[in-house]
Amino acid sequence: MTAPLPTAPAVPVTPLRVLICDEMNPGNLVHSGFELDYEGNMPREEILRLLPEYDALITRSRTKVDRELIDAAGPRLKVIGRGGVGVDNIDLDYASLRGLLVLNAPESNNVSAAELAIMHLMAAARGLTRSDSKTRQGVWDRKFLGLELKDRTLGIVGLGRIGSIVADRAQGLRLNVVAFDPYVPDSKFERLGVKRAATLDELLPQVDFLTVHTPLTDETTGMVGARELALMRPDSIVVNAARGGIIEEQALVDALHSGHLFGAGVDVFVDEPPTPDHIFLSAPNLGITAHLGANTREAQERVGAEIVARVLAALHGDVSKGAVNAPALDAKTLELLGGHLDLGGKLGRILAQLLPGAHNIEVTFQGEFPADPVPVVTAVLVGYLSGSTDELPNMINARALAKERGLNVAIREVADSPDYQTEVIVKVFSGGGEEKERTRTVGGTVFGRSPRLTRLRDYRVELEPQGFILIASNQDKPGAVAKLSNLLGTWGVNIAGMALGRAQKGGEALFTLTLDDGLNPEQLQAIRDLDVIDSAYIVRV
């Protein structure tokens, strides 16, 4: 009988170690294959000493994850988790340079933030702040008449995660809900039972109450000002529990003083904390909270458990949720595709402004690319989703965010490129069914490492995509460019570049101008009113 072969001794598996150094409720600390050490409010000197022994670090806002701390961590550290939304305490650029993945847990406070908005709405409708103040002053005022919510209409700006919860809660209060969000497909409105407004101007006159739940971007800063508030019905209520500055502070106070607004509620300021003389503090019928959207016991418990789960998943290779940064691609890929990645992001940003809320996006690669061009698709998605989602899109999370938005992605590859060595053509689709399908197409190539715009709709152009681009169509007749140039000159707007294209002589023509400055809505309308212009749009790249 042959003797059995000796069994090799089992090699012990070294657990992945995670250090949690700030106060939170991390939930269960026992996970197979991991070793989690939790010490809230750990001194910085102790973090610097211990961090080289860990694979991941989890913080809240207290610990500054700066260059000193990142350098002290050494090569073992792979992931940094930040419980909550903000990452202001983390040097993102340096973390990315060192190849560290940074995660957060922004969804943990969604319910709490939504409920706070509803609370502000109800408090304003019943004069809670006013009555509380008078009663404390010894004034027993029972003459004040509030408003019922039932059968009135709530307008929501931004139907993302928090806006969707607000819509659900509002319907439970028997409110009719209408929303404006150009980046969300019709299917989501239908699923939520929410009426869609095509524009903000269409939304405002038909609502009794307004709440905003959109990221703070160049597009949304000051999007509700004096003009917009004037469009609302008299005795309306406005709530901002999203970001300070979406509703212009002075315009809101003026509308309260004039009596046009019945009341308002704010949880956020442009500058926080506010100064003692801030205009909100003396405004009538205005309820104020100190940026408390995430501050519930339940939200704080979810924050800890959620960021721990995401960090552990990331250490096992799943980075689909919560990624805040995108560690640099390897040097070879970046060298080969760097210009095309930049191009993809620019094409996506242009299309997001020409046709937001698309349900399908098609990326066609023509020609022989120096490397697998699939990362360019992700760059296109990053550009298209920027400014339209609750989370900041990047090369790690863009595909997951696109899936969540209901955005289908198709990739086509064509061996030959008739006009350029390589060309990336991106087409987006919206509508369909009872609504007429709309499409927009842009294309580009790379000269050296410099992106160039090569296609708009069916027209050939050649333009460097940067700054502000004015896209205008007209009948191919003399004088169109001259009239437009003269108009821009009267406004002091300089033209940095120009590209012309036409389908046929005497037919429709398209020309694009890169401008040093943007145009306000009145200026853009003046261009559209020119007798030589059929349509005009401006995009910012």
Instruction: Choose the catalytic residue: 45, 136, 272, 522.
Output: 272
291 catalytic? Reply is yes
The whole-angstrom separation of Cα 132 and Cα 532 is: 61
Instruction: Choose the catalytic residue: 60, 82, 196, 243.
Output: 243
Letter for the amino acid at 99? G
298 catalytic? Reply is no
In three-state secondary structure terms, 242 is: coil
272 catalytic? Reply is yes
Is 59:84 a contact under the CB 8 Å cutoff? no
Is 200:228 a contact under the CB 8 Å cutoff? yes
Instruction: Choose the catalytic residue: 31, 126, 278, 291.
Output: 291
The whole-angstrom separation of Cα 59 and Cα 516 is: 42
Cα distances (angstroms) measured from residue 435 to each of 185, 232, 429, 430, 432: 12, 28, 12, 9, 5
In three-state secondary structure terms, 101 is: strand
Taking Cα atoms as reference points, which of 238, 250, 236 lies closest to residue 211?
A: 238
Is 134:141 a contact under the CB 8 Å cutoff? yes
- Tell me the whole-structure pTM to 2 decimals: 0.76
In this structure, the strands spanning 435-447 and 408-414 are unpaired
Letter for the amino acid at 115? E
Separation of CA 45 from chain center:
36
Helix/strand/coil percent split, the chain, to 5: 35, 25, 40
**Bridge partners, 287 (sequence order):** 265
Write out the chain's pLDDT in tens, 541 residues: 444 544 545 445 689 999 999 998 888 899 999 999 999 989 999 999 999 999 999 998 889 999 999 999 999 999 999 988 778 789 988 888 788 999 998 788 899 999 999 999 999 999 998 899 899 999 999 999 999 999 999 999 999 889 999 999 999 999 999 999 988 888 889 999 999 999 999 999 999 999 999 988 888 899 999 999 999 999 999 999 999 999 999 999 999 999 999 999 999 999 989 999 999 999 999 999 999 988 898 888 888 999 999 999 999 988 778 888 876 666 677 788 889 999 999 999 999 999 988 889 999 999 989 888 888 999 999 999 987 776 778 887 788 788 878 889 999 998 888 888 999 999 999 876 666 788 999 999 999 888 999 998 878 888 888 889 998 888 766 777 788 888 888 998 888 888 876 655 656 778 888 888 888 888 889 888 888 888 888 888 8
